[in-house]
């Protein structure tokens, strides 16, 4: 398979050379405006503003068969072992299945537990829920909370800062008897979260009438660690060890985001993701949104040598989406060693950056428009015909034209905008949880398909372990840092 990937990479490089002096505006014709749109009831994907021609498209669409993508997708949806470096199955697609699966029955029993919790009377006496979580365990629920834009009876807070300032600011606004803590950590060994938990326990102990354990809830794959840290069995939610943090939004990890809504809202999210799974499994390669997105990502990085990808949202409820996708993409594919323990011949994951487009137009877009670094882009917006969304969506389309076509000014060269940045548009037809679930699962599948092309494991994250292990060593060996840094730089005692 490594020889096949070398051939693919070499062919992509040759095709890229053939277009290196061709401006994107020369490649765009009215014919492709409709031909390069994949339409779905929840989302339309327009890639007509990419730097590709028919020859490139024809070759890109051969790649899935060359790498046996159908077999890889089947293994993913079956929950088989496809995380070889850790010897784990992968289960995130099972979490949104409708029907119970005997191999993964805990998923469905925990789903009932989520329903029971959301209907509990305790929530009627609580005013504050503080979620101690980090990484995917925080980014997913926080995105969902912002997306739903609820002014509910219960305040939802997210805290993870190692200096405790975030948590301290929140605790000042809360009373112990009106507050519960939800600790979300797959391993329940994350130092930042455990430090925050210890501080929260100390805060509860300031009220002698409070039984701290009654106010603590945990979500983890490590039930023994939850118990050891004072979380009662009845207050524990279990996730599978095969569920990666960046894929955990479909599980009880998202519980805090639905405290002000209901269980049906959670099911809507799952249904959208399930529809994305169905689309990915059944659509032909040329009509398959995540397949085309992954192919374009590999093309832009390895053929056009574009090392960064901007994701710009044009709906305020999606303002945190880029942070979520950045972790999903870069923690999955930000690697250089392939399945054969050799350096990948491809350029792997680009830097993912961006945010809420309306704000970025007044800050980072200057660099995009006139800097010397090329960028590929996704523009995500809502086009539902309602008056309040029209201006934002028109602004999105205007920025796409500026990014791609640019404008030459021979009299004032400093006003020239070269354009030529390949852009795609993801057009949501409504702004609801089903549509969001579909969108998030599409990006998940894009990351997996991209990894399949690159020949890397998207489900491990060995790169984040070194810093953690050094921090642990320095905590127990005070002389360790002394040998590596000047005394003036070391922590003050």
Please state, in angstroms and rounded to a whole number, the distance separating the CA atoms of residues 425 and 428.
Answer: 10
- HEC readout, the chain: CHHHHHHHHHHHHHHHHHHCCCCHHHHCCHHHHHHCEEECCCEEEEEEECCCCHHHHHHHCCHHHHCCHHHHHHHHHHCCEEECCCCEECCCCHHHCCCCCHHHHHHHHHHHHHHHHHCCHHHHCCCEEEEECCCHHHHHHHHHHHHHCCCCCCEEEEECCCCCHHHHHHHCCCCHHHEEEEEECCCCCCHHHHHHHHHHHHHHHCCCCCCHHHHEEEEECCHHHHHHCCCCHHHEEECCCCCCHHHHHHCHHHHHHHCCCCHHHHHHHHHHHHHHHHHHHHCCHHHCHHHHHHHHHHHHHHHCCCCEEEEEECCHHHCCHHHHHHHHHHHHHCCCECCCCCECCCCCCCEEEEEEHHHHCCCCHHHHHHCCCCCEEEEEEECCCCHHHHHHHHHHHHHHHHHHHCECCCCCHHHCECCCCCEEEEEECCCCHHHHHHHHHHHHHHHHHHHHHHCCCCCCCHHHHHHHHHHHHHHHCHHHHHCCCCCCCCCCC
- Bridge partners (DSSP) of residue 377 are 310, 423
Please state, in angstroms and rounded to a whole number, the distance separating the CA atoms of residues 295 and 376.
Answer: 13
Tokens of 280: 């990915």
Please state, in angstroms and rounded to a whole number, the distance separating the CA atoms of residues 442 and 200.
Answer: 37
Could you tell me if 99 and 444 are in contact, meaning their C-beta atoms sit under 8 angstroms apart? no
| Contact partners, residue 171, CB within 8 Å, separation at least 6 | 130, 200, 203
Return the active site residues: 331, 362, 468
Q: In angstroms, how far is CA 363 from the centroid of its own chain?
A: 23
Neighbours of 271 (CB within 10 A): 17
Q: b vs e for 475-486, b when ≥16 Cβ sit within 10 Å of the residue's Cβ? A: eeeeeebeeeee
Could you tell me if 46 and 36 are in contact, meaning their C-beta atoms sit under 8 angstroms apart? yes
């Amino acid at each position: 398979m490594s020889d096949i990937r070398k051939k693919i990479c070499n062919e992509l490089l040759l095709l890229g050379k053939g277009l290196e002096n061709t401006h994107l505006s020369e490649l765009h014709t009215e014919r492709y405006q409709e031909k390069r749109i994949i339409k779905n009831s929840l989302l339309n994907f327009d890639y007509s503003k990419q730097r590709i021609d028919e020859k490139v498209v024809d070759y890109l669409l051969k790649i899935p068969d060359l790498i046996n993508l159908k077999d890889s997708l089947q293994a993913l949806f079956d929950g088989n072992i496809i995380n070889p470096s850790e010897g784990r199955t992968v289960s995130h697609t099972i979490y949104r299945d409708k029907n119970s699966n005997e191999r993964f029955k805990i998923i469905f029993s925990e789903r009932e537990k989520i329903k029971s919790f959301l209907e509990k009377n305790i929530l009627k006496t609580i005013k504050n829920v503080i979620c101690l979580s980090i990484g995917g365990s925080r980014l997913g629920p926080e995105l969902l909370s912002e997306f739903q834009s609820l002014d509910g009876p219960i305040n939802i807070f997210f805290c993870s800062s190692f200096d405790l300032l975030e948590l301290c600011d929140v605790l000042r606004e809360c009373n112990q008897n009106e507050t519960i803590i939800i600790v979300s950590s797959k391993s329940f060994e994350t130092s930042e979260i455990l430090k925050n938990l210890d501080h929260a326990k100390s805060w509860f102990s300031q009220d002698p009438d409070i039984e701290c354990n009654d106010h603590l809830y945990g979500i983890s794959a490590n039930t023994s660690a939850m118990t050891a840290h004072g979380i009662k069995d009845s207050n524990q939610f279990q996730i599978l060890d095969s569920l990666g943090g960046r894929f955990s939004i479909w599980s009880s990890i998202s519980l805090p985001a639905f405290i002000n809504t209901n269980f049906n809202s959670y099911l809507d999210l799952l249904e959208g993701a399930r529809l994305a799974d169905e689309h990915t499994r059944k659509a032909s390669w040329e009509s398959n949104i995540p397949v085309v997105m992954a192919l374009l990502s590999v093309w832009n990085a390895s053929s056009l040598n574009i090392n960064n990808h901007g994701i710009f949202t044009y709906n305020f409820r999606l303002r945190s989406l880029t942070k979520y996708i950045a972790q999903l993409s870069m923690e999955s594919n930000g690697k250089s060693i392939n399945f054969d323990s050799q350096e990948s011949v491809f350029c792997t994951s680009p830097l993912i950056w961006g945010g809420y487009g309306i704000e970025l137009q007044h800050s980072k877009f200057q660099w995009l428009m006139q800097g010397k670094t090329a960028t590929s882009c996704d523009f995500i917006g809502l086009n539902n015909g309602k008056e309040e969304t029209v201006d934002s969506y028109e602004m999105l389309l205007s920025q796409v034209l500026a990014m791609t076509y640019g404008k030459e000014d021979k009299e004032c060269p400093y006003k020239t905008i070269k354009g030529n940045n390949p852009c795609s548009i993801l057009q949501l037809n409504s702004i609801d949880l089903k549509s969001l679930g579909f969108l998030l699962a599409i990006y998940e599948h894009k990351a997996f398909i991209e990894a399949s092309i690159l020949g890397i494991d998207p489900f491990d994250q060995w790169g984040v372990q070194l810093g953690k292990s050094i921090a642990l060593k320095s905590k127990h060996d005070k002389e360790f840092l002394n040998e590596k840094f000047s005394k003036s730089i070391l922590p003050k005692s």
